[in-house]
Structure 1
C-alpha cells in the first residue's frame, strides 16, 4: 500500500506523508496526532526499535493488568494485595519476576540514556552553531566600524574643504561690498581702478564657484515624466555610451528649471509637456575620473539618441556637457553665437574654462574667454548688439 492511500485508524483520514506509526499489535496505521507523538520526537529520538515496539492505545488497553507481586518491599510479605484482573502467581513465578524486573529497568534506563544523548548532541550542535554565528556577527561589526570610520574621516575632510571655500568666498564678497560702497561718481578720479578691482574680484568669485562644479555634469534633451527615477536614467544613458556607473559614484541627480505639472495621459499623444524642451538633469559625481570618462564617451558617440532606453516620446538626441556657472553659461552661449556668425569653427569648454579657435592647425592660436571684454577683444565688436543698444 502506498503512503498516499494509508488510512489513519484513529481519525479515519488519509495520511498523505510518511509521518505515521505502525502498531505492532493490530498492524494499524496512526498519524502523529492520533499517536500522541511530537514531530521532534518522531525525527530525533524515536529509533527503529522504539517504532517496532510501539502499540496503539486500544492494544495497550486490551493487555491484561499486572499485579504488584514484583514490588521489592513486599516480596516476602504474605497476603499481597492483587490488582483487578491479575492472576495469583506461584513462588517460582515470583522469583522469575524478581529476576526480570532489573532487566526491564536496565532496558528502560538505556533507552532514556540514548534519548538524553541524542538531545545533548542536538544541544551541542546548536551551541556550536550559535557561537559560529556570534563570531561572524562580531567580524561583520568590526568591518562595519572600520568602514564607518573611513567614511566619517572623508566626510570631515570634505566639510572642512567646503567651509574653507565658503570662508574665502565670504571674504571676497566683503571686499566687493566694501569697494562698491567706496565707489563715487564715474567722473571722480580713482573710480576706474576701483571698477577694475571689482571686475577682477567678480572674476575670482566666478572662478571659485566654477571650481566647486568640477564634478558636475549637465544632461539635456532627455524626456521628462512624472515619478521618473533619475539615477536609473543616468545609468541607462551611461551604459548606452559604454560607461558603467555604480551607486557609489553618484552623489545626487536632479532636474533644474521650472517645474512642469505632468498629466496622467496617453504617452502616444503629444502634450504640452512632451512638446516643450525638458528640464536639464544636473548630476554630481563622487570622482572626477568618472565625469571625464562620461564626457569622453559623449564626444566619441556624438549623436547618440534615447532609442531603446524605454523613455516616453520619440527618440531624440541627448547631450552631456560640463556644468558651468551662470556667468560662464551666458558667456559660452554668446561665444557660440559670435563664432557661428563669424565662421569660427571651434568653441568648447574644458575644466570649466571656455576656449575658442578660428580653425584647426598649430598656427591658429587658442583663446580663453573670461569676460565680455574678451569677446570684444577676440571676435571684435558685435554689430547686431551695437545696433540693438542704439
Structure 2
C-alpha cells in the first residue's frame, strides 16, 4: 500500500529533464532549458542586429529622401532662374531692336533735315574770306549760275575729329532741294568732261582738290566710307549718294544695290 502511494507521487513534473549525452555517453549532460535559453539569446542578438541595420537603412533612406527633396527644390529654383533669364534676354533683345530702330529713324530725320544742303570739301580757309564768292566761283567752274538768292545760309564746320583732314568743310543751305540737286548734277557733268569722272575738281584760285557732296549725317558718312572701301576691293565702278541714300553698282549694266545699313554692305560681292 505504501509502495503504491510512493510510485503515484512520481509524476512528469517531478521527473528529471531529458539529458543529451555527448561523445560515448560519458560526456557532460546539457539541459534542454539551457540550450533553449542560449538559442533564444542568439535569436535576440540576431534580431537586434537586424533591427539596427533596419534603423540604419531607414536613416539612409530618409537622408537620401531629404537630399532628393532638396535637389528637386534646387532644380525648381534653377528652372525659375532660367525662365527669368530667358525672359530678360528676350526683353534685352527687344530693347536693342527698338533702340536700333529709333537710331535709324532719328538718323533718317536728321538726313531729311539736310536735304537742301551741299557740303564743299578741300578749300583751305582764308582770313576774311567771302564764302558767297567761293560758291559763285565753283558755280562758274561747273557752269551753274549760283546766286545769293538761292542760298539760305552757309558756314564752315569742324571736320570729324577722327578724320585726318584739318580743313573745315563748307556747308551751303540752299532754299530748295532742287537747287542743291541741280548744283550736284552740274558738278557731275563737269567732272565727266574735265576730270575723267573723278570726284575731285581742280579749280584755279580755290584748290586743286575740291569735292562737292551731299551733306550726310555722321552715321551715313561712316557707312558711305565703308561702302566705298568694300566696293573698291570688289572692283565696283560706281558708288554714289542721292537724297542721302547710298548706292553701288558693279558697272553700268549691273543692278543697283542700296546700302541702307552695315549689314547691307555684305551684298557687295
Question: TM-score, structure 1 length as denominator?
Answer: 0.41
Structure 1 residue aligned with 2:7: none
CA contact (8 A) 1:221 1:277 kept: no
**C-alpha displacement of 1:186:** 9.8
Describe the SS at the equivalent of 1:197. Answer: helix
Structure 2 unmatched ranges of 5 or more:
1-84, 160-164, 196-200
1:297 corresponds, among 186, 190, 193, to 186
Q: 1:342 to 1:187 in 2, by over 3 A?
A: farther
- Aligned Cα RMSD in Å? 2.2
Q: 1:299 to 1:186 in 2, by over 3 A?
A: farther
* Equivalences for residues 247-286 of structure 1 within 5 A: 247-257=148-158, 278-286=167-175
Structure 1 residue aligned with 2:76: none
**C-alpha displacement of 1:213:** 0.3
Structure 1 residue aligned with 2:24: none
Distance, in Å, in 1 between the alignment partners of 2:157 and 2:104 is: 24
Distance, in Å, in 2 between the alignment partners of 1:186 and 1:329 is: 37
* Equivalences for residues 194-233 of structure 1 within 5 A: 194-233=95-134
Structure 2 residue aligned with 1:338: 230
Structure 1 residue aligned with 2:219: 327
* Equivalences for residues 37-52 of structure 1 within 5 A: none
Describe the SS at the equivalent of 2:202. Answer: coil
Structure 1 residue aligned with 2:262: 372
Q: 1:281 to 1:185 in 2, by over 3 A?
A: farther
Deviations 1:104-132 (A, max 9, x none): xxxxxxxxxxxxxxxxxxxxxxxxxxxxx
Describe the SS at the equivalent of 2:184. Answer: helix
Deviations 1:88-119 (A, max 9, x none): xxxxxxxxxxxxxxxxxxxxxxxxxxxxxxxx
Structure 1 unmatched ranges of 5 or more:
1-183, 259-275, 381-390
**C-alpha displacement of 1:223:** 2.5
Distance, in Å, in 2 between the alignment partners of 1:277 and 1:296 is: 27
Is 1:306 the counterpart of 2:196? The answer is no
Describe the SS at the equivalent of 1:189. Answer: helix
Distance, in Å, in 1 between the alignment partners of 2:87 and 2:202 is: 53
Bigger Rg, structure 1 or 2? 2
Question: TM-score, structure 2 length as denominator?
Answer: 0.59
**C-alpha displacement of 1:201:** 1.6
How many correspondences in the alignment? Answer: 172
CA contact (8 A) 1:215 1:286 kept: yes
CA contact (8 A) 1:356 1:367 kept: yes
**C-alpha displacement of 1:293:** 1.1
Distance, in Å, in 1 between the alignment partners of 2:208 and 2:166 is: 11
CA contact (8 A) 1:219 1:281 kept: yes
Distance, in Å, in 1 between the alignment partners of 2:87 and 2:264 is: 23
**C-alpha displacement of 1:185:** 9.3
Higher strand share: 2
Describe the SS at the equivalent of 1:199. Answer: helix
* Equivalences for residues 1-390 of structure 1 within 5 A: 188-257=89-158, 278-302=167-191, 303=195, 304-307=201-204, 309=205, 311=206, 315-361=207-253, 364-376=254-266, 378-379=267-268
Distance, in Å, in 2 between the alignment partners of 1:305 and 1:189 is: 55
